[in-house]
Every structure is written in structure tokens, then in C-alpha cells.
Structure 1
Amino acid sequence: MTDAPQPESSEPAHDPEVLELAQKVFDLARHGETDTLAAYVDAGVPANLTNDKGDSLLMLAAYHGHPGAVRALLERGADPDRTNDRGQSPLAGAVFKGEDEVVEALLGAGADPRAGTPSAVETAQMFGKEELVRRLTA
């Protein structure tokens, strides 16, 4: 018998402190804590950080209706069209939730109304938001 080393797990090692910090930052986005969230991104947290479902900080802020946090993340380089693991875009999430101010912030940053599955246009059509469909397809 040999004392061959055992193969390492394919799972990456996760530092509990890093995971705790990441969870805190995701919660800041979810709850619209704009100033603190911006400070973390300014200190080096990636603006496009995603959780285990592929939801970016921007997606969480948009879906939960926090236009200030959305704008702060966009100003710091967050990708307005980054989709999550289900193919959903921040803009489609904001359309679904009826977050008009978030929709305007995302469109102002160049978000593509046709990105994702379903797209923001398709989402607006599904829910009979004809005025928004016209705005998104203009």
C-alpha cells in the first residue's frame, strides 16, 4: 500500500468571514442601504458580485425597488444586463415588480429591454403593461 495523497475536494474552500461579508453586502442591496453598499463597492467589493443563484447586487436592489442603490451600483460599473442563473435581467425584475423609478434608472444606464428570458418587454406584455411595452420598444 502506498501513502498517496488523497485527491482534494472539487469544492472550493470558503472562508466563513468572506461568506459572512458577502451575505452582508447582498443584504445591503436587498434592503436598499445605498451609502453603506456604495462604500463596500468603493472599498473593493465587485459591483457585479453574484450570489449562489446568480443574482447580482444590482438584481437584488432592482427587484426589491431601491432606485438609489441601483443608481449607485450602476455608477460603480454594475452591468445593467447581467442575467441571473434563470436568465432574468434586473430590468425584467423591476418591470415584474412594478418599480417604475428603478426601470427608469436602468434604462438611463443603457439596459437592454430585450435582454434575458423573459425579457423586460416580454414581462411587460405578459402583465398587460401596454404603456411600458411602448416605452421599452420606442
Structure 2
Amino acid sequence: MTFYSTNPDDLLIDAARNGDVTYLKERIAEGADLSITNGRGFTPLIIASYDGHLDATKLLLEAGADPNTQDNSGNTALMGVSFKGYSEIAKLLIENGADLNLQNGSGGTALMFATLFGRNQMVKVLLDAGADTSIRDARGLTALDLAYQQGNEEAFNLFKEHHENA
């Protein structure tokens, strides 16, 4: 792996992006600040989880990284993995206190991201974890509305089943 910066914060961000658990462990042992951000407000946790690095995400959470930090657009690690469909990482984030119902700058939630991008396994994970289906985004739409608009029958049925069992 190639690093182009010698700035320790940049190196920490790069290690998270690359899932470099060895480097992350070294930096954590040295007392690295896990709340640092890059120019877009991404923390090492947001980056590691978004890039699908389960072990790096787990390490960062165990070291005290905040799963509810929001980037410059208001997105969280859980929103990112919901968009990408990384169910196992989502479960890990939720187990470590990720707020299912935080909203970004447009009012979007993790459940809305999963629904909008057809990540139906993720929709199920979030519904099973207790995501609030009544939250509306800046346009006044709920995740169920998004499922309907997308013609995502599977997600629509997941919402219906969730409401019947609630």
C-alpha cells in the first residue's frame, strides 16, 4: 500500500480506507484521536465501514470510535453501510450503539438509504433492530414511500410484514 502523506492523521485515514488493522492497532496503542476527519468530515470509522472493512470497523469501535459521528452532509457510518448493503457491518455498528434513526442534512435515515438503493437484506436488518418507519425526509417521504416509488415490492412487503408483527 502506498501512502502519499506523512501527516499522522492522513495516514490514519488511509489505513482505515485500506483496512490496515496492523497500522490502526499501532496508532490506537499510541493514543490516536479516532474523531479526526478528512475534508468531507469522514472519520476513520466512517471510512473503514463504508469501504467494507469489518475487522477494521470492529477494532475502531472497540477502541472507542463514535458510531454516531456525522460527516459534513450529516451521514453516519450506518447510513454508508446501508447504502452499500454491508449487513454484517451494520449489525456491528448497531450492537455498538449506532442510532438507527439519525437523519442527515436531507432528512434521510439509514433505512431510507437501504430502501432507496434496493438493499433489502439491510432493510430487514434495520427493521428488525427497531428503525422508525414513520420518519420523513425533507421531501416529506418515509422509507415506505421510497419503496413504493422505486417499485421495490420486496422492501414494500418487508415493511408490511414489520407493521403486521408490531
Q: Could you state the TM-score of these two structures normalised by the residue count of structure 2?
A: 0.67
User: Which moves more between the two structures, 113-122 or 81-90?
Assistant: 113-122
Query: Quick check: 1:29 aligned with 2:20?
Result: no
Shift of 1:42: 2.1
Shift of 1:112: 1.3
Overall identity of the aligned pairs, in %: 32
Shift of 1:19: 6.4
Match of 1:80 in 2: 67
Q: Distance in 2 between matches of 1:119 and 1:19?
A: 36
- Matching residue within 124, 127, 137 for 2:127: 137
Rate the CA distance shift 1:134–1:99 in 2: closer, same or farther, 3 A: closer
C-alpha contact 1:113 1:137 (8 A) present in aligned 2:
no
Query: Quick check: 1:126 aligned with 2:116?
Result: yes
- Matching residue within 73, 97, 101 for 1:110: 97
Structure 1 unaligned regions, length at least 5? 1-17
Q: Distance in 1 between matches of 2:16 and 2:121?
A: 28
Shift of 1:96: 1.1
- Map Cα deviations across residues 13-47 of structure 1 (whole Å, 9 max, x no partner): xxxxx962211111000000012112202212112
User: Which moves more between the two structures, 21-30 or 121-130?
Assistant: 121-130
User: Which moves more between the two structures, 123-132 or 67-76?
Assistant: 123-132
Q: Which amino acid in structure 2 is aligned with residue 23 of structure 1?
A: D
> Which structure has the bigger radius of gyration?
1
Higher relative contact order (CA 8 A, sep 6+): 1
Match of 1:93 in 2: 80
C-alpha contact 2:115 2:123 (8 A) present in aligned 1:
yes
Rate the CA distance shift 1:46–1:28 in 2: closer, same or farther, 3 A: same
Q: Distance in 1 between matches of 2:35 and 2:25?
A: 12
**What's the secondary structure of 2:115's corresponding residue?**
helix
Match of 1:61 in 2: 48
Shift of 1:102: 1.4
